[in-house]
Copies of this chain bind each other. A is one copy, B any other.
Amino acid sequence: MPAEFSGHIGCVMIFPERADSWQYGAVKARKAFAEVAKAIAKGEKVTMLASHSQYDNARRLLPDYIRVVEMSSDDAWARDVSPEFVTDDKGNIRGVDFYFNAWGGLYDGLYFPWDKDNAIAKKLCDLYDIDIYDFSDFVLEGGSISVDGLGTVLTTETCLLSKGRNPDLSREEIEHRLCEGLGAEKVIWLPGGISGDETNEHVDNICVFAAPHKVLLSWCEDEADEQYEMCRKCLQVLENSTDATGEKIEVIKLPMPKPVYMTEDEVEGLDYCFGEPTRNVEERLSASYVNLYIGNKTVVMPAFGGENEEADKRAAEIVKSVFPEKEVISVYARDILIGGGNIHCITHQIPEF
């Protein structure tokens, strides 16, 4: 599986519409998604998947150079419902279709049903005329892994060993399936991710590969913050690990924004899901700058505004120093974050082959 920081032939996103995920009928979320799409489209072809009922809306919000393609979905998390792609050095590519169960299925998944989401991997391979490997007996979301293209997989124990995914497999069996499915050789297990992250703490919100032998790690500097301890535990694992090539891993610390909380108005704007509120007033959202997209020419990262203006700026400078050859574009992402994820979660690259 090629790394995200390698070249892409394009990027896929899904137009949001679910009113229990996106406040006030997803109107602001759609605008934020459009900004992300435009920023990525500076360097690669973006395809926005939209339901029939949202097709015209998508077409209206997006410039002509972004392709809109009808596709059904249960929500808008392209990272997690797309196939992963594996390539070889002969110019071959295959999609790998893992099973998607809405981050935990009937155990602790976030919605039901998820059949439309789970069908997207197959449909995308069909759309791009890419053959597919069926890995649907294994539950995996794209956001729960980060790879370096050299055979290393980063993941979190909280997520990959959760009871809602592959409860009958041991840690060793999960490692084996992961390596088999992704063409990898080594798994580095971080203990967890960002506290409160509903995906059982996907790795893409706390730590991702930015280059060979180099990761971005979300970093909490406030000792009183519940996140403080976990960031240090992750750092410790990384400092004591080598990647699949045997090299040490350089860790770039990306300081977190100040805590971001749901407002009363935002909670008011969300439909109920199964008779319950999706979010509560003053609920802390799992904000992190690591949840960014590494495009061909741009790195698109979240900004949170308000009292985080300074933090936004500082994070963008650090990211710029890691990707000096790319344009770093910050997109105001509060309306994406409210849905439960961020820019990395709503995008998926298709690698060059």
Q: Chain A interface (Cβ within 8 Å of chain B)? A: 52, 55-56, 59, 64, 67-72, 116, 119, 122-123, 126-127, 129, 131
Contact present for A126 and B68 (CB under 8 Å): yes
Contact of A69 among B72, B119, B126 (CB under 8 A): B126
Contact of A123 among B64, B70, B119 (CB under 8 A): B70
Contact present for B67 and A70 (CB under 8 Å): no
Contact present for A67 and B116 (CB under 8 Å): no
Contact of A72 among B64, B70, B122, B126 (CB under 8 A): B70
CB distance from A69 to the nearest CB of B (A): 6
Closest chain B residue to A126 by CB distance? B68
Contact present for B59 and A126 (CB under 8 Å): yes
Most chain B CB within 10 A, of A52, A55, A56, A72, is at A52
A119 to B50, CA, bound (A): 13
Chain B residues with CB under 8 Å of A116's CB are 52
Q: Offer 22 A-B interface pairs, CB within 8 angstroms, sorted by A.
A: A52-B72, A52-B116, A52-B119, A55-B119, A55-B123, A56-B119, A59-B122, A59-B126, A64-B131, A67-B126, A67-B127, A67-B129, A68-B123, A68-B126, A69-B69, A69-B123, A69-B126, A69-B127, A70-B70, A70-B71, A70-B72, A70-B123
Closest chain B residue to A65 by CB distance? B129
Chain B residues with CB under 8 Å of A52's CB are 72, 116, 119
CB distance from A234 to the nearest CB of B (A): 39
A72 to B51, CA, bound (A): 9
A116 to B53, CA, bound (A): 9
